[in-house]
Amino acid sequence: MKIPLDLQRLRGGIIVSCQAYPGEPFYGSDIMVRFAKAAVEGGAVGIRANSPQDIAEIKKAVRRIPLIGLWKRDYIGSDVYITPVWSDVSTVIDAGADMVALDATRRDRPNKERLEDIVSRVKSETQCLLMADISTVEEGLYAAQLGFDCVATTLSGYTPYSPRQSEPDYALVEALAAQVQIPVIAEGRILHPEQARACFARGAYAVVVGTAITRPHVMTRKFVEHVSSPGLRESGR
Ligand SMILES: CC(=O)N[C@H](C=O)[C@@H](O)[C@H](O)[C@H](O)COP(=O)(O)O
């Protein structure tokens, strides 16, 4: 299997997901650009970013490493929200993404669009690479068969039929690495450097870290909740 050049640049490295939701303190393309610059400074090999505006701004400011773009969108009647339909994919590509990440589960997509058609259109009409966000081994195998360039464990724990857990889905990383011929990207709940190492040990090609680096309010809450658990307060000095 020939691995495209932009994908080879991700090998063995950390990709930083720079995303924030409206209403969060760090929401805004200017802030996402700063996170992306900090990621480059820290040695990240790639950036993952959401929305055409953030993608375009990051692309202008950070040229040294590949940019994975997606667009989270809510459509009535479908649970698929990561770059669900062709027009979203094409907007992300036009915004400057080197690779598009999209939901590659077998769930119904908005407007009855088919994953197969979206993939073949990207492959025939653009040079852009494709990352399959999946939640099970079967979905990963199907994505590889369809022609995705890499597969990411992004949606494990976020579909109703995948295991809910606080740890990264190591079993999924390992199973995919053993069964698919395309690079496997570990993504989701990787909060510590040791967890990133553990993903590489199980065959990950690259690791995406989001919350631990770019969602300070979530990390603050984790610290607060951990130290205020019963039994700790009294003994604190
Ligand atoms: C499930 C879903 O919608 N995941 C999103 C995908 O782009 C992001 O919200 C995550 O932050 C990203 O996957 C990185 O994961 P973590 O933030 O756990 O390091």
Query: How many A from CA of 208 to the centre of ligand 1?
Result: 9
Please state the φ and ψ torsions of residue 143, each to the nearest 5 degrees. -65, -40
Please state the φ and ψ torsions of residue 235, each to the nearest 5 degrees. -90, -5
Does the C-beta of 169 come closer than 6 Å to ligand 1? no
Average of per-residue pLDDT across 1-13:
91
Select the more confidently predicted residue: 232 or 43: 43
Whether the predicted interface score ipTM is above 0.90: yes
Q: Could you tell me what percent of the chain has a pLDDT over 70? A: 97
CA 155 – CA 161 distance, rounded (Å)? 11
Q: Which residues contact 31 (CB under 8 A, 6 or more apart)?
A: 20
CA 22 to chain centre: 19
**SS3 category, 14:** strand
Question: Mind listing the pLDDT tens digit for each residue in 52-97?
Answer: 999 999 999 999 999 999 999 999 999 999 999 999 999 999 999 9
Does the C-beta of 211 come closer than 6 Å to ligand 1? yes
Average of per-residue pLDDT across 205-210:
98
Judge contact between 183 and 205, C-beta under 8 A.
Answer: yes
**pTM for the full model?**
0.96
What's the chain's average pLDDT? Answer: 96
The residue to mutate among 14, 17, 105, 215, having the most atoms of ligand 1 within 8 angstroms of its beta carbon, is: 17
Q: Which residues contact 56 (CB under 8 A, 6 or more apart)?
A: 29, 95, 96
Average of per-residue pLDDT across 125-144:
98
Query: How many A from CA of 32 to the centre of ligand 1?
Result: 15
Q: Would you state the pLDDT for residue 4? A: 87
CA 80 – CA 107 distance, rounded (Å)? 7
Q: Would you state the pLDDT for residue 236? A: 52
Q: Which atom of ligand 1 is nearest to the CA of 215?
A: 17
CATH topology of domain 5-227: TIM Barrel (3.20.20)
Does the C-beta of 19 come closer than 6 Å to ligand 1? yes
Question: Mind listing the pLDDT tens digit for each residue in 218-236?
Answer: 999 999 999 997 766 555 5
Q: Would you state the pLDDT for residue 113? A: 98
Q: Would you state the pLDDT for residue 151? A: 98
Q: Which atom of ligand 1 is nearest to the CA of 158?
A: 1
Q: So where are the chain's domains?
A: 5-227
Does the C-beta of 52 come closer than 6 Å to ligand 1? no
